[in-house]
Amino acid sequence: MRGPHNILRLIRTGATLERTGAMGVVLDAFDAPKPLRVAARLLGWPFKWLGYNGDPAVPPAPRALTALGPAYIKFGQVLSTRPDVVGDEMATQLRVLQDKLPPFSVAEAKQMVASELGVPVDTVFSEFSEPVAAASIAQVHKAKLALTGETVAVKVLRPNIEKDFRKDIDAFYFAASLIELLSPSSRRLRPMDVITHFEGVVMGELDLRLESAAASEFASNTAQDDGFQLPEIKWDLSSRRVMTMSWADGLPLGDNDALDAAGHDRVALSERVLQLFLQHALRDGFFHADMHQGNLKVAPNGDIIALDFGIMGHIDEYTRRVYAEILYGFIRRDYKRVAEVHFEAGYVPNDRDVDEFARALRAVGEPIFGMDATRISMGRLLSYLFEVTERFGMETRTELILLQRTMVVVEGVARSLDPKMNIWNVAKPIVEDYIKTSIGPRAFAKDLGKTALVLARFGPRLPGLMEQLLIEQAQGTPEPKKNPARAAVLWALVGAVIGGGLVAIVEVFF
């Protein structure tokens, strides 16, 4: 599938931007230099007739992205949360991509629900509304359960969405291969791996059973989080292409006028949405990875309600500790320690100079402190960070792309509520708390305890292994010398069983 025929898809992308009038708007939003503007116009204008026309009633940028398909829509959703990058007007226009896309018919939705659940819709639901939200992957209907009268939300995948998304991903793979071929220096960023990771994430979003499971796990992790709510999954009414959950009443987090009219504190909401994300990422290692305004509501009591769990991120414990130390080092302005952590984790090759890297990090971090968001140019900051990573040979870590992307989105959401929010001041208490609980004597004791438990599972095999080892030694068999690893593992198991009790005691007292 990833053949030259994708050239047409890429040409059509430029042609669609030109035909819908989005080309100039996009170039202006990104403040593109003159050479890039000329090149884009020369590539787009001759093929304008190949572009999709889109809906003339929609502003140019969302019109073009909607016409191009779901993968492009996802890209627009991210940009809609970054007015500091694309400008307030463009960000406002792109917000229609979050949950106000053209819906498919109720008849199609009912047919899919009946097919998936194996029963007529009227048997399960006494009411089934027109679509209340339509996004790139699915749309949502408000319904009422016939048996209990409870109001629920029914999420239904778009028809043929898997095929349409495969077509976009196929073109992205082709573009990535061309980039690697024509620009060898870009290979350190591993563009093919980036697309592979993105494909895995979104294809998982196309199975609503996985989304239901993710929502259930997320709810279990966050049950004690103040000011945070999740809808309840109705497992008996959910399947691969249909997901049913309790209805969540609230105001959209992106509607500042409505939030002000209802008396909600937008400054408090901006801090809470950022801190909740950091808590979930650091404490649990499992976080909502699509936290744009279309997936967040504010309940009447002020709680933040999260919706749409198709894209969730996972970070292992070691990586969480590394990134917490890096973030904590930036907060404390300890750039030498931040640099050392990068080297210790293998993010920067050992042949580079740690002091020089620390100075480069200082140049990135120092301008942030003491500034509010209105004085920070994220475009210049990201540009300088790219220069630093290229100079020191850092490679793109595909397993962290989702975390990095979500941090950008969440910061944009928070700053749309409070443009003067200082991200470092808000993050500091969460990071400090994680450092206290995860890096220190208590954390070390817990790690030892977990290791002892894993090794102790081999306890029932110890008598036989020990007897075999003693017999071999008594007979003078040179086997243990030829295989010292086996003997070492055996003695480690013995030590684990004996030391398990000691570790438990240490954990209690520390």
Residue 338 DSSP SS3: helix
Q: 385-392 — which CB contacts under 8 Å span 24+ positions?
A: 388/360, 388/361, 388/363, 388/364, 390/185, 390/188, 391/360, 392/348, 392/349, 392/352, 392/357, 392/360
In angstroms and rounded to an integer, the radius of gyration of the C-alpha atoms of the chain is 27
Q: Name the pairing type of β-strands 242-246 and 151-157.
A: antiparallel
List Cβ neighbours of 199 (8 Å cut-off, separation of 6 or more): 169
Contact between 157 and 139 (Cβ < 8 Å): no
What is the rounded distance in angstroms from the CA atom of residue 395 to the CA atom of residue 186? 10
Q: What is the DSSP string of 77-126?
A: HHHTT-HHHH-HHHHHHHTHHHHBSPPPPHHHHHHHHHHHHSS-HHHHEE
- Residue 287 sits at φ, ψ, to 5 deg, of -140, 155
What is the rounded distance in angstroms from the CA atom of residue 157 to the CA atom of residue 211? 12
**Residue 316 designated active-site:** no
Q: Name the pairing type of β-strands 151-157 and 228-229.
A: unpaired
Q: Which of 168, 170, 290, 418 is catalytic?
A: 290
Q: Count of residues for the chain?
A: 510
Q: Which tokens is 418 given?
A: 């409070």
Q: What is the DSSP string of 13-62?
A: HHHHHHHTTHHHHHHHHTT--HHHHHHHHHHHGGGGGGS----TTS-HHH
User: What residues act catalytically?
Assistant: 290
